[in-house]
Amino acid sequence: MTNRPNIEEIRAVINEIDSNILALLHQRFAHAQEIGKIKREENKKREDILREQEIFQRLLAENRDILPRSSLLSIFREIINTCKQIQ
């Protein structure tokens, strides 16, 4: 008999990961708000296409093809769009 975790134990770990992801998103959004303030003070546009492309390229390289490319880009497009909204 193997000593593998049951579904509830695995789900508990997933719940903890989800909470950590949410906490990190809160941090990212707080920094995005700070950037928004700076951009307003310096009369800069909210959108920075070059920066977005840099982010996507870096994340695709770090991903090492573990997540499907389209999924990774979709997830981070949503995060970036949310950050632009709160800037």
List domains and CATH numbers for the chain: 7-86 (1.20.59.10)
**pLDDT band at residue 49 under the 50/70/90 scheme:** very high
Cα Dmax for the chain? 65
In whole angstroms, what is the distance from residue 62 CA to residue 55 CA?
Answer: 11
pLDDT, tens digit, 9 for 90 and up, residues 8-29 = 999 999 999 999 999 999 999 9
In whole angstroms, what is the distance from residue 22 CA to residue 71 CA?
Answer: 18
Report CA torsion sign: 46, 20, 75, 66: positive
pTM of the predicted model, to two decimals?
0.87
* Helix axis angle, 69-86 to 49-63, nearest 10°: 140
